[in-house]
Amino acid sequence: MASASTHSIQQYSLVTVSYWAFTLTDGALRMLVLLFFHGLGFSPIEIASLFILYELSGVVTSLIGGWVAAKIGLITTLQCGLLLQILAIAMLLRDHQQLTIVYVMCAQALSGVAKDLNKISAKSSLKSLLPDNAHGRLFTWVARLTGSKNALKGMGFFLGGTLLSSVGFTFTIMLMMMLLIAILVLGLVFFKVLENAEHKPAINQILSKSTAINRLSIARLFLFGARDVWFVIALPVYLQSQLLWSYWQVGSLMALWVVGYGLIQAFAPKIITMGRSNKLSTAVDGRTLVFWGILLVTIPAAIAIALMVCERSDLVILVGLVPFAFLFAINSSVHSYLILSFAQRDRVSLDVGFYYMANAGGRLLGTLLSGFLYQEFGLSSCLFVSSGMLIASTLAAHSLPKITSSTVN
């Protein structure tokens, strides 16, 4: 038993390190592309279009990727994600004149495939490494993996903006490739094959038939659409074009926000159980999402109203980002736990893949709306739409089934 536990922890650590490295480069690449092409004179809608195939490929990959992982194994799929990210980054090592919108969209599409292969494999592996009744450890492991991943993504934002300002676009790309190659080789040496389900699902089994997973997926779609509709394009462009912030300042703010958001995610189990002697008097389930979702709904609308009545828009944004980060992180962490709790062990990668298809769909919807709404109506419109999406997410979570007995370790 102790040996099995040690093996699980070792493999969990390796999965986490691989996920960290991928996320660091993914965050840096997003900020790099956003700021670099805005500096070349691309409009907000054109910048948003650069990420369309990234998000769209995420929708398709999440749906198919879970089935692929069930067929060839979670670790193999994880390593394939790293390899594809290396290739996607390498595509940008061309003369700036050759980096057209269509070409960069294709590179981003490959990166989107890589991201979702990596995410599905990393998240699904946690279910494989723990017994079915380990609800507390599952919540804790998911929170730590997801939270640390987002903290690293924030550092990627910071690195992307800082390195673009200091060493330039090309050298930054080369550094990211070197990091991923090193992690890929490390994984090839130390990863062991995780236990795969004996049942190999057919392609027609990729869609979820679970009411709980379907409802949770809808809630996830609107949750992440609500974040990206104002955060992914509108906010950084607003900071740079309206408040005249530098690349370094924009990258630093985005980085600090995501790092803080990630840290809150990592401690979400303790925050939720605060004052309960570390015991959940009620299960973490749809009721938890409704409670925290209602609180989150008010934040984007409050920021939008404040922007319209206050002269210090920079102060409004800085203050408003704090409660949004806190509440969004709690919601996201509970989401990440619930999908693994609801997923069936013999089709975990399929259920997780279907769920993250909805996640990618929400990001795609939010990205498209972010560029369009900001260019046509301004930042406040993006924030009001964000609150509307959060209402839809909370309503979808309202009917989720209860989960009995959970202890956070």
Task: Please report the pLDDT score of residue 210 as a whole number.
Answer: 78
Tell me if 260 sits within 8 A of 154, measured CB to CB. Answer: yes
Residue 158 has pLDDT above 60, yes or no: yes
Q: Tell me what the mean pLDDT of segment 52-78 comes to.
A: 79
CA angle at 162 for the pair 157 and 166, rounded to the nearest 5°: 155
Number of neighbouring beta carbons within 10 Å of residue 56 = 20
CA distance 215 to 318: 33
pLDDT at 385: 97
Both tokens of 348, joined, read 């975990």
- The answer to whether the beta carbons of residues 353 and 63 sit under 8 Å apart is yes
- Of the CA atoms within 13 Å of residue 47, those in its CB half-sphere come to 26
Which pLDDT score is estimated for 181? 92
Return the ∠ at Cα 149 (arms to 177 and 153), rounded to 5°.
60
pLDDT digits (tens, 9 = 90+) for 164-207: 778 887 888 888 899 899 888 888 877 765 545 445 555 555 66
Domains of the chain, each with CATH number or no CATH: 2-192+205-397 (1.20.1250.20)
pLDDT value, residue 193? 53
- Residue 281 phi, psi (nearest 5): -70, -25
Spatial contact of 300 and 327, defined as CB atoms under 8 Å apart: no
Q: How far apart are CA 368 and CA 363, in angstroms?
A: 9
List the end-to-end C-alpha distance of the chain, in Å, as a whole number.
18
For residue 67, the surrounding DSSP H or E stretch is helix 52-72
